[in-house]
Amino acid sequence: MSTSADPLAALAALPGVAESVNAVRNAVDRVYGHRVMRRRSNEVTSEAALRGARGSAALAGADWALEEVRRRTDFGAEGEPRTVGAALRLTAEAGQLLSIWRQSPLRVLARLHLVAAGGVEGDEGVGRPRQSGEPVDEPLIGSDLPLPDADEVAGRLDGLARLLLAGSEAPALVTAAVVHGELLALRPFVSRNGLVARAAERIVLVGSGLDPKSICPAEVGYAELGVAPYMAALEGYASGTPEGMVVWIAHCGRAVELGVRESTAVCEALQRGAA
Protein backbone atom coordinates (compact mmCIF):
# COMPACT_ATOMS: atom_id res chain seq x y z
CA MET A 1 0.00 0.00 0.00
CA SER A 2 1.12 3.57 -0.60
CA THR A 3 3.22 5.39 1.98
CA SER A 4 1.57 8.77 1.25
CA ALA A 5 -0.16 10.75 3.99
CA ASP A 6 -3.49 9.39 2.75
CA PRO A 7 -2.83 5.92 1.34
CA LEU A 8 -6.52 5.29 0.69
CA ALA A 9 -6.71 8.41 -1.47
CA ALA A 10 -3.57 7.23 -3.27
CA LEU A 11 -5.37 3.98 -4.11
CA ALA A 12 -8.36 5.93 -5.35
CA ALA A 13 -6.06 7.74 -7.77
CA LEU A 14 -4.86 4.51 -9.43
CA PRO A 15 -5.87 4.13 -13.09
CA GLY A 16 -9.20 2.36 -13.39
CA VAL A 17 -10.42 2.94 -9.84
CA ALA A 18 -12.40 6.07 -10.68
CA GLU A 19 -14.42 4.10 -13.22
CA SER A 20 -15.45 1.58 -10.56
CA VAL A 21 -16.25 4.33 -8.06
CA ASN A 22 -18.40 6.21 -10.56
CA ALA A 23 -20.25 3.08 -11.66
CA VAL A 24 -21.09 2.25 -8.06
CA ARG A 25 -22.17 5.79 -7.24
CA ASN A 26 -24.45 5.94 -10.27
CA ALA A 27 -25.99 2.56 -9.51
CA VAL A 28 -26.63 3.45 -5.87
CA ASP A 29 -28.16 6.79 -6.82
CA ARG A 30 -30.55 5.05 -9.21
CA VAL A 31 -31.90 2.60 -6.65
CA TYR A 32 -32.26 5.31 -4.01
CA GLY A 33 -34.25 7.30 -6.55
CA HIS A 34 -36.75 4.48 -7.09
CA ARG A 35 -40.26 5.55 -6.17
CA VAL A 36 -40.71 2.58 -3.83
CA MET A 37 -37.89 3.90 -1.65
CA ARG A 38 -40.01 6.92 -0.73
CA ARG A 39 -42.67 4.77 0.89
CA ARG A 40 -41.35 1.30 1.63
CA SER A 41 -37.62 1.65 2.22
CA ASN A 42 -37.80 -0.38 5.45
CA GLU A 43 -39.10 -3.36 3.51
CA VAL A 44 -36.30 -3.04 0.96
CA THR A 45 -33.75 -2.83 3.78
CA SER A 46 -35.10 -5.97 5.44
CA GLU A 47 -35.08 -7.91 2.19
CA ALA A 48 -31.57 -6.69 1.34
CA ALA A 49 -30.37 -7.86 4.76
CA LEU A 50 -31.78 -11.33 4.23
CA ARG A 51 -30.35 -11.65 0.73
CA GLY A 52 -27.00 -10.27 1.82
CA ALA A 53 -26.76 -12.78 4.65
CA ARG A 54 -27.63 -15.59 2.26
CA GLY A 55 -24.88 -14.45 -0.12
CA SER A 56 -22.26 -14.20 2.61
CA ALA A 57 -23.16 -17.65 3.93
CA ALA A 58 -22.89 -19.06 0.39
CA LEU A 59 -19.32 -17.78 0.15
CA ALA A 60 -18.61 -19.46 3.49
CA GLY A 61 -19.78 -22.83 2.16
CA ALA A 62 -23.51 -22.79 3.00
CA ASP A 63 -25.12 -22.07 -0.36
CA TRP A 64 -28.81 -22.28 0.52
CA ALA A 65 -31.70 -21.09 -1.60
CA LEU A 66 -33.19 -17.81 -0.43
CA GLU A 67 -36.51 -19.39 0.47
CA GLU A 68 -34.69 -22.01 2.55
CA VAL A 69 -33.02 -19.24 4.55
CA ARG A 70 -36.35 -17.46 4.87
CA ARG A 71 -38.27 -20.43 6.29
CA ARG A 72 -35.66 -22.18 8.44
CA THR A 73 -35.25 -21.52 12.15
CA ASP A 74 -32.85 -24.29 13.17
CA PHE A 75 -29.56 -22.40 12.88
CA GLY A 76 -27.89 -23.90 15.93
CA ALA A 77 -26.91 -27.22 14.37
CA GLU A 78 -23.29 -27.77 13.35
CA GLY A 79 -22.21 -27.28 9.76
CA GLU A 80 -24.16 -25.26 7.24
CA PRO A 81 -27.05 -24.24 9.54
CA ARG A 82 -24.63 -22.64 11.96
CA THR A 83 -22.90 -20.79 9.12
CA VAL A 84 -26.19 -19.40 7.85
CA GLY A 85 -27.16 -18.44 11.39
CA ALA A 86 -23.85 -16.63 11.84
CA ALA A 87 -24.41 -14.65 8.65
CA LEU A 88 -27.91 -13.67 9.75
CA ARG A 89 -26.72 -12.59 13.20
CA LEU A 90 -23.91 -10.51 11.72
CA THR A 91 -26.27 -8.73 9.35
CA ALA A 92 -28.53 -7.81 12.25
CA GLU A 93 -25.63 -6.76 14.48
CA ALA A 94 -23.73 -4.65 11.94
CA GLY A 95 -26.34 -1.91 11.89
CA GLN A 96 -26.01 -1.46 15.65
CA LEU A 97 -22.26 -0.84 15.56
CA LEU A 98 -21.86 2.22 13.35
CA SER A 99 -21.16 4.70 16.14
CA ILE A 100 -18.68 2.37 17.82
CA TRP A 101 -16.91 1.73 14.50
CA ARG A 102 -16.11 5.43 14.19
CA GLN A 103 -14.39 5.34 17.58
CA SER A 104 -12.89 1.85 17.76
CA PRO A 105 -12.89 -0.36 14.65
CA LEU A 106 -10.99 -3.10 16.47
CA ARG A 107 -13.62 -3.28 19.19
CA VAL A 108 -16.27 -3.73 16.50
CA LEU A 109 -14.28 -6.46 14.76
CA ALA A 110 -13.98 -8.33 18.06
CA ARG A 111 -17.73 -7.99 18.57
CA LEU A 112 -18.45 -9.19 15.05
CA HIS A 113 -16.38 -12.31 15.61
CA LEU A 114 -18.08 -12.95 18.93
CA VAL A 115 -21.47 -12.74 17.20
CA ALA A 116 -20.36 -14.86 14.24
CA ALA A 117 -18.91 -17.56 16.47
CA GLY A 118 -22.03 -17.60 18.63
CA GLY A 119 -19.90 -17.56 21.77
CA VAL A 120 -19.51 -15.46 24.87
CA GLU A 121 -16.63 -13.31 25.98
CA GLY A 122 -13.94 -15.51 27.47
CA ASP A 123 -14.58 -18.46 25.16
CA GLU A 124 -11.23 -19.61 23.83
CA GLY A 125 -10.38 -17.94 20.55
CA VAL A 126 -13.66 -16.02 20.36
CA GLY A 127 -13.80 -12.24 20.03
CA ARG A 128 -10.05 -11.66 19.94
CA PRO A 129 -7.27 -11.86 17.35
CA ARG A 130 -5.63 -15.26 17.16
CA GLN A 131 -2.48 -15.93 19.11
CA SER A 132 0.75 -17.54 18.02
CA GLY A 133 0.26 -21.19 17.08
CA GLU A 134 -3.52 -21.07 16.92
CA PRO A 135 -4.92 -22.68 13.75
CA VAL A 136 -7.36 -20.92 11.46
CA ASP A 137 -10.50 -22.64 10.17
CA GLU A 138 -11.27 -20.80 6.92
CA PRO A 139 -12.01 -23.45 4.27
CA LEU A 140 -12.64 -20.97 1.45
CA ILE A 141 -9.10 -19.60 1.54
CA GLY A 142 -6.57 -22.23 0.53
CA SER A 143 -2.85 -22.50 0.97
CA ASP A 144 -2.14 -20.28 -2.06
CA LEU A 145 -2.68 -17.24 0.16
CA PRO A 146 0.00 -17.15 2.88
CA LEU A 147 -1.28 -16.89 6.44
CA PRO A 148 0.39 -14.02 8.35
CA ASP A 149 1.66 -14.88 11.82
CA ALA A 150 0.06 -13.46 14.95
CA ASP A 151 2.58 -10.64 15.33
CA GLU A 152 2.01 -9.44 11.77
CA VAL A 153 -1.74 -9.68 12.28
CA ALA A 154 -1.56 -7.51 15.40
CA GLY A 155 0.59 -4.90 13.68
CA ARG A 156 -1.53 -4.71 10.55
CA LEU A 157 -4.81 -4.58 12.47
CA ASP A 158 -3.43 -1.69 14.47
CA GLY A 159 -2.36 0.01 11.25
CA LEU A 160 -5.79 -0.51 9.71
CA ALA A 161 -7.48 1.00 12.76
CA ARG A 162 -5.18 4.04 12.69
CA LEU A 163 -5.88 4.49 8.99
CA LEU A 164 -9.64 4.42 9.53
CA LEU A 165 -9.56 6.74 12.53
CA ALA A 166 -7.36 9.25 10.70
CA GLY A 167 -10.01 9.67 8.02
CA SER A 168 -9.52 9.88 4.29
CA GLU A 169 -10.72 11.70 1.20
CA ALA A 170 -11.01 8.34 -0.57
CA PRO A 171 -14.44 7.22 -1.83
CA ALA A 172 -16.37 4.78 0.32
CA LEU A 173 -15.86 1.94 -2.14
CA VAL A 174 -12.08 2.16 -1.80
CA THR A 175 -12.16 2.22 2.01
CA ALA A 176 -14.66 -0.65 2.15
CA ALA A 177 -12.61 -2.73 -0.28
CA VAL A 178 -9.44 -2.22 1.77
CA VAL A 179 -11.17 -3.18 5.02
CA HIS A 180 -12.67 -6.27 3.38
CA GLY A 181 -9.43 -7.29 1.65
CA GLU A 182 -7.20 -6.71 4.65
CA LEU A 183 -9.38 -8.82 6.94
CA LEU A 184 -9.52 -11.66 4.43
CA ALA A 185 -5.77 -11.53 3.83
CA LEU A 186 -4.97 -11.44 7.55
CA ARG A 187 -7.62 -13.90 8.77
CA PRO A 188 -7.18 -12.39 12.24
CA PHE A 189 -9.57 -14.77 14.00
CA VAL A 190 -9.55 -18.53 14.40
CA SER A 191 -12.74 -18.85 12.33
CA ARG A 192 -15.47 -16.97 10.44
CA ASN A 193 -13.08 -14.38 8.99
CA GLY A 194 -14.90 -14.17 5.67
CA LEU A 195 -18.23 -13.48 7.34
CA VAL A 196 -16.65 -10.85 9.56
CA ALA A 197 -14.83 -9.20 6.64
CA ARG A 198 -18.00 -8.86 4.61
CA ALA A 199 -19.94 -7.50 7.60
CA ALA A 200 -17.19 -4.93 8.19
CA GLU A 201 -17.37 -3.88 4.54
CA ARG A 202 -21.12 -3.41 4.97
CA ILE A 203 -20.52 -1.16 8.00
CA VAL A 204 -18.15 1.03 5.97
CA LEU A 205 -20.56 1.35 3.05
CA VAL A 206 -23.43 2.29 5.36
CA GLY A 207 -21.46 4.51 7.72
CA SER A 208 -19.83 6.42 4.89
CA GLY A 209 -23.20 7.58 3.61
CA LEU A 210 -22.89 5.74 0.31
CA ASP A 211 -25.61 3.29 1.33
CA PRO A 212 -27.16 4.72 4.51
CA LYS A 213 -30.25 2.51 4.40
CA SER A 214 -28.20 -0.64 3.74
CA ILE A 215 -30.07 -1.61 0.59
CA CYS A 216 -27.10 -2.49 -1.64
CA PRO A 217 -25.94 -5.94 -0.46
CA ALA A 218 -22.50 -6.50 -1.97
CA GLU A 219 -22.59 -10.02 -0.53
CA VAL A 220 -25.21 -10.90 -3.13
CA GLY A 221 -22.82 -9.76 -5.83
CA TYR A 222 -19.85 -11.70 -4.49
CA ALA A 223 -21.90 -14.86 -4.39
CA GLU A 224 -23.22 -14.29 -7.90
CA LEU A 225 -19.74 -13.63 -9.28
CA GLY A 226 -18.53 -16.87 -7.69
CA VAL A 227 -15.85 -18.12 -5.32
CA ALA A 228 -13.07 -18.52 -7.90
CA PRO A 229 -13.17 -14.88 -9.14
CA TYR A 230 -13.50 -13.73 -5.51
CA MET A 231 -10.34 -15.58 -4.55
CA ALA A 232 -8.47 -14.47 -7.68
CA ALA A 233 -9.28 -10.84 -6.89
CA LEU A 234 -8.24 -11.35 -3.26
CA GLU A 235 -4.88 -12.66 -4.41
CA GLY A 236 -4.52 -9.38 -6.29
CA TYR A 237 -5.14 -7.48 -3.07
CA ALA A 238 -2.72 -9.65 -1.13
CA SER A 239 -0.01 -9.03 -3.72
CA GLY A 240 0.03 -5.37 -2.73
CA THR A 241 0.75 -4.30 -6.30
CA PRO A 242 -1.15 -1.37 -7.85
CA GLU A 243 -2.53 -3.71 -10.52
CA GLY A 244 -3.69 -6.20 -7.92
CA MET A 245 -5.34 -3.52 -5.82
CA VAL A 246 -7.23 -2.20 -8.85
CA VAL A 247 -8.50 -5.71 -9.63
CA TRP A 248 -9.74 -6.14 -6.05
CA ILE A 249 -11.43 -2.73 -5.87
CA ALA A 250 -13.09 -3.35 -9.25
CA HIS A 251 -14.36 -6.73 -8.03
CA CYS A 252 -15.80 -5.13 -4.89
CA GLY A 253 -17.41 -2.42 -7.01
CA ARG A 254 -19.00 -4.94 -9.33
CA ALA A 255 -20.38 -6.82 -6.33
CA VAL A 256 -22.02 -3.65 -5.03
CA GLU A 257 -23.53 -3.01 -8.47
CA LEU A 258 -25.01 -6.51 -8.49
CA GLY A 259 -26.36 -5.92 -4.99
CA VAL A 260 -28.02 -2.77 -6.30
CA ARG A 261 -29.54 -4.80 -9.13
CA GLU A 262 -30.96 -7.23 -6.58
CA SER A 263 -32.58 -4.48 -4.54
CA THR A 264 -33.89 -2.79 -7.67
CA ALA A 265 -35.68 -6.07 -8.47
CA VAL A 266 -37.11 -6.05 -4.95
CA CYS A 267 -38.35 -2.49 -5.49
CA GLU A 268 -39.96 -3.51 -8.76
CA ALA A 269 -41.64 -6.48 -7.11
CA LEU A 270 -42.97 -4.32 -4.29
CA GLN A 271 -44.28 -1.83 -6.82
CA ARG A 272 -46.17 -4.61 -8.58
CA GLY A 273 -47.46 -5.93 -5.26
CA ALA A 274 -45.66 -9.22 -5.84
CA ALA A 275 -43.33 -9.18 -2.83
CATH of the domain at 187: 1.10.3290.10
Spatial distance between the Cα atoms of 130 and 136, rounded to a whole number of angstroms: 8
* % pLDDT > 90, the chain: 86
- pLDDT recorded at residue 73: 87
Please indicate, yes or no, if residue 204 is contained in any of the structural domains. Answer: yes
Whole-angstrom CA distances from 253 to 177, 178, 197, 219, 229 are 8, 12, 15, 11, 13
Please indicate, yes or no, if residue 216 is contained in any of the structural domains. Answer: yes
| Structural domain boundaries enclosing 223 | 7-272
Please indicate, yes or no, if residue 55 is contained in any of the structural domains. Answer: yes
HSE-up (13 A, CA, CB side) for residue 144: 11
SS3 content of the chain, % helix, strand, coil (to 5): 65, 0, 30
Please indicate, yes or no, if residue 1 is contained in any of the structural domains. Answer: no
Average pLDDT of the residues of the chain = 93
Kindly report, residue by residue over 84-115, the tens digit of the pLDDT. 999 999 999 998 999 999 999 999 999 999 99
Spatial distance between the Cα atoms of 181 and 185, rounded to a whole number of angstroms: 6
- pLDDT recorded at residue 121: 52
Kindly report, residue by residue over 239-262, the tens digit of the pLDDT. 999 999 999 999 999 999 999 999
Spatial distance between the Cα atoms of 41 and 211, rounded to a whole number of angstroms: 12
Please indicate, yes or no, if residue 264 is contained in any of the structural domains. Answer: yes
Average pLDDT over residues 207-218: 97
Please indicate, yes or no, if residue 197 is contained in any of the structural domains. Answer: yes
Kindly report, residue by residue over 19-28, the tens digit of the pLDDT. 999 999 999 9
* % pLDDT > 70, the chain: 96
**Domains held by the chain: number:** 1
75: confidence class by pLDDT, cuts 50, 70, 90:
confident
Please indicate, yes or no, if residue 2 is contained in any of the structural domains. Answer: no
Please indicate, yes or no, if residue 105 is contained in any of the structural domains. Answer: yes
- pLDDT recorded at residue 270: 94
